[in-house]
Structure 1
């Protein structure tokens, strides 16, 4: 008889890089990933170049580090629209 295997949960500091879909900036996100999934909550963070908001499940607010600036040639801030 086979036992069900539970999926592994990354524990510790989760580090990943992403590109902003609005301005093209590259940034690194550092997020605390606890062993207890009940301690995970949706946490907002924003692109350091334009302010576009993103969300990640983490135990505390993530830290964001800019790696490469904007690639769109603009200097405006992202504005959320209702449409």
Structure 2
């Protein structure tokens, strides 16, 4: 994957913390920040999936009433 340079400004305490945490993990500050962003993006994806699952559970009866189920209790596909 191609790399793009991204310049950010943070206060000195944040910069120091990033350097210390990256060093403690044996990685560059660049890699540390990259992993933080990827992890955060993954959490957002999980949050979306969890919210969608909750929505489906909440409205399961509405979908069943609207679309019905097959003989094995599975929801029928919409035509």
Q: Which has the higher contact order (CA 8 A, sep 6+)?
A: 1
Task: Report the TM-score when normalising by structure 2.
Answer: 0.19
Q: Which has the larger radius of gyration?
A: 2
Give the number of the structure whose residues are more often helix, by fraction.
2
Give the number of the structure whose residues are more often strand, by fraction.
1
